[in-house]
Structure 1
Amino acid sequence: MTERFDCHHCEESLFGKKYILREEDPYCVACFETLFASTCEECGKPIGCDCKDLSYKDRHWHDTCFHCSRCKNSLVDKPFAAKAEQLLCTDCYSHEYSSKCHQCRKTIMPGTRKMEYKGSSWHETCFICHHCQQPIGTKSFIPKDNENFCVPCYEKQYALQCVQCNKPITTGGVTYREQPWHKECFVCAACGKLLSGQRFTSRDDSAYCLNCFCDLHAKKCAGCTHPISGLGGTKYICFEDRQWHDDCFNCKKCSLSLVGRGFLTERDDILCPDCGKDI
């Protein structure tokens, strides 16, 4: 007795007929196409066993239906791009959607490397230093007057030189007495503290933080012996080579303020007229 060989679905004999195996089960062509064939995205018909099934992101096409949605040219074995569920050849895609190079104004083709900066795009080979004309690539660059410069060229052409270290200032400089400084080079001449953004003063062409200036150069108050900085509009009284803070210029005996008043002296002390009567 001959063993039967039937379609797994309709159970019709497959002897002498074309069949397709799926997961080790045989199917006649009609059953296989009904049960398993993909539907073509373009024409909506099943993709039969005698046709190539071209797929992209779970979508399927007959090879004769796999074409550009704009120009209708075949995309079989050709590069393509997808936009809004449509397949486009590279020419149509670049015409519709690709950015233009800021330098040469030509299309930057999909899949090619490009450089982007502040909303503009360049071919990698077009993104070059304005001075030396060498590609910048992933190296640091500095924009100036709508042009881009590699750091060495910018420093040679435009960067100011720090008066302290004589090296170029590319970012964050400080101007003091009309001369350029790096922030990290502009420091107190006594303690080395950074002065950028801090209150400071100078003496003999050197800059000092307030504490060092007061300790080194400020006159001492004859009343409290603390320095009189004279900064920020600080008022003080001078008399016979001595100085006082306004708040310290008081009668030695009764502590009455003598600012704007007459006063007497007894040795190193200052006295109001009333206390001076007892001298």
Structure 2
Amino acid sequence: MAQKTALIVYAHQSPASFNAAARDVAMQELAAQGYRVLLSDLYAMDFRASATQDDIIGDLKTPGHFQYGDETMSAWKEGRLCADIVAEQRKVEEAELVIFQFPLYWFSVPAIMKGWMDRVLTQGFAFSLTNMYDNGVFKDKKAMLSFTTGAIQSMFKPDGINGDINVTLWPLQNGVLHFCGFQVLAPQIFWGPAHCPPAVRAAMLDGWRARVKGLSEERPLTFAPCDLFDLSFRGGFRLWPRAREERESQGFGITTGHHLGKPLPPDNQTRAHPDPRS
């Protein structure tokens, strides 16, 4: 049997951080399961976050009106992307599982990790209008977010001051990972480790180690399937009328994003649920 490969994309400046400890736990446990573990330590690599025309080798297609997406797609097709992007794309290609490990900054990933997403997940390589969501390029791969918060868990409840964590996670999990086709595993959230005593932090890491042991058996999160939508410009890529009608009697929307004016389905972005068509 061919060896499995996992990629950890990691963003924290300090080797003494809780994020570093969570990274190490994942690397150790995956290696113990026989994975070849690749690491992209973005700060140590001094990974460049800005998506600019420096990412392209050679002449631009339209130098008078630079459009990053179009230019990088052409460069990807022609083998003219810069070396650091190509190296990261090779890692993604090799990996069956991608884990993003980071501290939550301003309800999102740190800038250096957002830059990795902007620059590495180029059009053509990671997505197209015909290869997106459950028809996406990476539909045979799994990905997940593993992150720390500065806030305690109750602050991210639907009635908490920060709002529902499911809403916070929707842009990253649906708009980045699922958009590229990844099967998205439920996030690993370490709630406020900086506010916890050492024994609690140790228990968090023990729980993460136990979870990593069983990651291969986990069911991914569910998202609205593409066949519910009219995937044409004429139809506006909107829900088919029959699909909307079928859900009129249901108490919740389809997903956090496709709420249809209904209450959000509970824990839609934090826990695996049955297929919304069932």
How high is the TM-score relative to the length of structure 2? 0.16
**Which has a greater percent of helix?**
2
| Larger-gyration structure (1/2) | 1
**Which has a greater percent of strand?**
1
How high is the TM-score relative to the length of structure 1? 0.16
